[in-house]
Copies of this chain bind each other. A is one copy, B any other.
């Protein structure tokens, strides 16, 4: 920086002012400094800068199951939005989710001096842990609706589940089962509630609820059982991967989809259009979710806004696994 100042014939402070876009620099000087910067290929030292500003221009992203479809796309959205805003993104993936591992990871980020943290750990206990932590930086929790202490960005999963069930109801189904995700996942719980609500509102009993684990393997296993007992005419499956397993099980058991049983998934992964048959499902935009997280964070960081929330709305994609109920 001293070198730049010398070349431009000014003081180091003026260089700093140019770098930080301070108003009171004459355009002539600014130009000279900028030229010196490019000439010398100068890059400002981040460490020195954050030592004095106490800002690191870094956002930490804490997540579990980061390689899954949802989380990895959320990360992508977060990353892009953050980089567009001039922030670095530091990632910590949890191998195992416990209050301790979460606290550890947050501490890891605090050590690093991040300016804000996005948490995508989709278990309800997470929020309590986060509320118990006094991080001195803004926090956004994915999946949380947001409250006094914690900002939240979320897909309206309940609405998504409504959409799915309503579609089946519209087709004349009344016996609509649900193969859910693990109940200790926020998303799974919200989808269960949406399913129950829609059914209850329509005057039907939400009877058949099976708890799954998101995997195709589990979808297959439970699919075989459902195929054997045939107590439902339609099945709302909490994600596309389990739906894949279900379709395979039904295929093997000679249950025809959609004529014998209708199936609706959730997520709309790109592959779902190529299942046999192509899957009717609920699409959610994870990248937008990630972007909204950063939006929330930047609002708090730059405008000093307090807590807030953002919601992304899912939509139904009808393909070939749903058909009118045979009367």
The count of chain A contact residues (Cβ–Cβ below 8 Å) is: 51
CA distance A224 to B171 in the complex (A): 31
**Complex: A318 Cα to B201 Cα, angstroms:** 48
Cross-chain contact A219 with B93 (CB below 8 angstroms): no
- The segment out of A20-28, A147-155, A270-278 that lies at the interface is A270-278
Chain B residues positioned under 8 Å from A91 (CB to CB): 75, 79, 89-91
Cβ-defined contact, A113 with B66, below 8 A = no
A216 CB within 8 Å of chain B: yes
B80 touching A95, Cβ below 8 Å = yes
Alpha-carbon gap, A83 to B45, bound state (A): 24
Rounded to whole angstroms, the CA-CA distance of A46 and B55 in the bound complex is: 12
A251 within 8 A of B: yes
Residues A47 and B79 in contact in the complex (CB < 8 Å), given A90-B58, A270-B215, A274-B219: no
- Tell me which of B67, B76, B247, B271 contacts A241 (CB under 8 A): B271
Interface of chain A, main secondary structure:
helix
Q: Is A7 an interface residue (CB 8 A)?
A: no
The interface bits of chain A over 4-30 (1 if a CB of B lies within 8 angstroms of the residue's CB, else 0) are: 000000000000000000000000000
Do the beta carbons of A72 and B79 come within 8 Å of each other?
A: no
B44 contacts A51, C-beta separation under 8 Å: no
Can you list, as one digit per residue, whether each of A89-113 has a CB less than 8 Å from chain B (1) or not (0)? 1111101000000000001101111
Known: A67-B69, A276-B276. 9 other contacts (CB 8 A): A43-B107, A45-B113, A58-B112, A66-B76, A67-B73, A91-B91, A215-B270, A241-B270, A244-B274
Show 22 residue pairs from A and B whose CB-CB distance is below 8 angstroms, ordered by the A residue.
A44-B111, A46-B111, A47-B56, A66-B79, A67-B69, A67-B73, A80-B95, A83-B92, A83-B108, A88-B108, A89-B90, A89-B92, A90-B91, A216-B271, A216-B273, A219-B274, A220-B274, A244-B274, A245-B274, A247-B276, A248-B274, A251-B276
